[in-house]
Amino acid sequence: MGNDRQSRQSNTMEHTSYLFREYIMVNQTRQDTTADAKGQTLIIFALMLSVLMLCVGLVTDVGMAVVADQRTQNASDAAALAASDVLLGGGSVDDAEEAAFAIAAENGYVDGDEGITVTVNIPPESGPFAGQSNHAEVVITDQSHNYFFSIIGNTFIDVHSRAVSRTELGGGNYGIIALNPHDCRSFEIDGTAQIHISGGGIFVNSDCPTDAMYGEGVVTVDTAVNTVVGGWDTSGSANFSPTPTGGSQITDPLANLPVPTPPTNVQTCPDFSGSPGTTTLLPGRYNCAINPSGPWNVVFQPGDYHITGGVVADGGGNITFNAGVYTLGGVGITVTGSGRITVNNAMLYIESGEVELTGNGITSITAPETGVYAGIAIFQNRSSTTQVDMNGTALAGGWGTVYAAGAKVSIVGTSASSNMQFISDTFIMSGIPDLDLIFDSDITVGQQSPKLVE
């Protein structure tokens, strides 16, 4: 029995020793495995960090290249437009190229400086507009500096931009056009006057750099567009909405409108010495003034007329011009006091004298809808510098263009008008008039301006 006990003890010790050796081996294996895993993790981390830094470098350098490319494109666009602007103004090709190089330099791109090249081609040498006059091509190349990629020898990324511009003729809708090319305050509004133009705006052709367009006082200009070639200025609480933008000078859009040929068949002048009543006149030439004394009603039958002495309405009656063309000499057209005129689809050509619509009566003028003078309500002799005066309730209703290329249009008092367009040398509003225009005309402003086409 003692031997059996000793045998069992010996077996137990051997088993325990075996288990201890197995534990040591397993534990050693685990340690070796853990060490291998840690080593692999470190390698993977290093690889991922390298990839991450590569991505950061790629994003940074490419992003800087994109910014540099946009800068060169903006510079080439501006330089091409500058060249076209010089050509538009009648400058030479050399002047246009010089302007393009100057604008490129202002934007930081000087030809030959630190790897930069600026090329100006007039006309373009490539693309769909190659060889076409009135086109300007600008090409700018530069190098974007790399920071991360420079460690592998790639120091720069080349950037390249190209722009082509030309002058284009566009049309604009303007309810008021001041044609004078140089006068300051060619357009002026002061007092508490207001101008509202629906579907159109104001065009000021003057290149006066300070105040070609001027507003003073508690005035409001609310239009679809305000364009001025020169500068603009306001004082007080004057407000131009929208803010005026620049434009290029235009020629008179009605320069080719012919002067009417008046009739020569002589008619007997009316007698207004008796009691006021109604008198009807037939088309033809009247070698006198139509100037009724008292509240006469004068009706012109449809047709063409030449009134050598002009027409005066001041006695409280009404003078009705029916469809036709009326050439008015002498005093032109004068409406004062309680005089009234009504123009039905007719055009008044002011051969001499003036346009004075300053009465308190209702004046309504509607232009012809067809024919050579479609849309023209009043046409003042282009050589006349006599001011066109409108106030009171003049032009309170009606439709048509008031055209006085050589004179100033002046609207004062409490005038209100729905006539859609005024085309004159200069234009002024003062007092408390409210000019409410709805643009409804085929007479638009053709204005050339530089445009990018590539």
Give the 3-state DSSP-derived string for the chain, with helices as H, strands as E and coil as C.
Answer: CHHHHHHHHHHHHHHHHHHHHHHHHHHHHHHHHHHHHHHHHHHHHHHHHHHHHHHHHHHHHHHHHHHHHHHHHHHHHHHHHHHHHHHHCCCCHHHHHHHHHHHHHHCCCCCCCCCCEEEEECCCCCCCCCCCCCEEEEEEEEEEECCCHHHHCCCEEEEEEEEEEEEEEEEECEEEEECCCCCCCCEEEEECCEEEEECCEEEECCCCCCCCEEEEECCEEECCEEEECCCEEEEECCEEECCCEECCCCCCCCCCCCCCCCCCCECCCCCCCCCCCEEEECCEEECCCECCCCCCEEEECCCCEEECCCEEECCCCEEEECCEEEEECCCEEEECCCCEEEECCEEEEECCCEEEECCCCCEEEECCCCCCCCCEEEEECCCCCCCEEECCCCCCEEECEEEEEEEEEEECCCCEECCCEEEEEEEEECCCCEEEEECCCCCCEEEEEEEECC
Q: Is the peptide bond before 242 cis (omega within 30 degrees of 0)?
A: yes
Helices 93-106, 2-88: crossing angle, 10 deg rounding: 150
Q: Alpha-carbon distance 96 to 89, whole Å? A: 10
CA distances, 150 to each of 47, 57, 178 (Å): 20, 10, 61
The answer to whether 283 touches 321, Cβ cutoff 8 Å, is no
- For residues 70, 74, 75 and 77, what is the CA-based torsion angle, rounded to 10 degrees? 130
CA distances, 392 to each of 192, 195, 235, 315, 412 (Å): 15, 16, 26, 16, 8
Contact residues for 19 (Cβ-Cβ < 8 A; gap 6+): none
Amino acid, res. 33: T
326: left (phi over 0), alpha (psi -120 to 50) or beta: beta
Amino acid, res. 141: T
How many Cα atoms sit within 13 Å of 442 on the Cβ side? 10
Give exposure, 164-193, as e/b (b: 16+ Cβ within 10 Å).
Answer: bbbbeeeebbbbbbbbbbebbbbbbbbbeb
Closest CA to 59 of 142, 149, 152: 149
219 φ, ψ (degrees, to nearest 5) = -115, 155
Around Cβ 20, how many Cβ atoms within 10 Å?
Answer: 10
Confidence at residue 315, expressed as pLDDT on a 0 to 100 scale: 77
Q: Alpha-carbon distance 122 to 266, whole Å? A: 62
Confidence at residue 233, expressed as pLDDT on a 0 to 100 scale: 96
Residue 334 token pair = 């004068």
Confidence at residue 267, expressed as pLDDT on a 0 to 100 scale: 97
410: left (phi over 0), alpha (psi -120 to 50) or beta: beta
* pLDDT block averages, 10 residues each, the chain of length 454: 46 50 50 52 62 54 64 89 79 89 92 88 90 88 61 60 78 89 96 88 94 95 92 93 88 92 96 92 98 92 98 89 98 90 96 90 86 94 95 71 95 70 94 80 68 82
Radius of gyration of the chain (CA): 42
Residue 454 token pair = 């590539």
How many Cα atoms sit within 13 Å of 391 on the Cβ side? 16
Q: Alpha-carbon distance 348 to 438, whole Å? A: 21
Question: Structure pTM?
Answer: 0.67
Q: Alpha-carbon distance 403 to 258, whole Å? A: 13
Q: Alpha-carbon distance 341 to 361, whole Å? A: 8
